[in-house]
Amino acid sequence: MDAVAASRVAALAMTASYVGAIGLGFGLGRALALIDRLGAPAARADALVGAGTAVAALVCVGVGLLVQHWCRVPDDDDRPGPPGGPVA
């Protein structure tokens, strides 16, 4: 994979993590706001939708973080050290 494609994949993964975090908060908030009214069928359905949204968003965050981890550049072993530092 070339560098431009890798940077695009990393940017997409970062965006997926951010959007997933927002969706996770929205879904959990929606489910928790309706937790005391689960006796009503409409509230139960809305709470299930919120919980499903939270689970899907959590998967999106996990996949985004995993792909970001895969897109790291490995350290160069034959490089002497940081510039300006002591050289052995």
Residue-wise pLDDT tens digits, 27-64: 999 999 999 999 999 999 999 999 999 999 999 999 99
Q: Residue 3: its pLDDT value, please?
A: 81
Q: Residue 85: its pLDDT value, please?
A: 62
Q: Residue 78: its pLDDT value, please?
A: 65
Helices 41-70 and 3-33, axial angle in degrees (round to 10): 160
pTM over 0.85: no
Question: Which residue bears the tokens 């002497």?
Answer: 80
Question: Which residue bears the tokens 């792909």?
Answer: 67
Q: Residue 83 above 80 pLDDT?
A: no
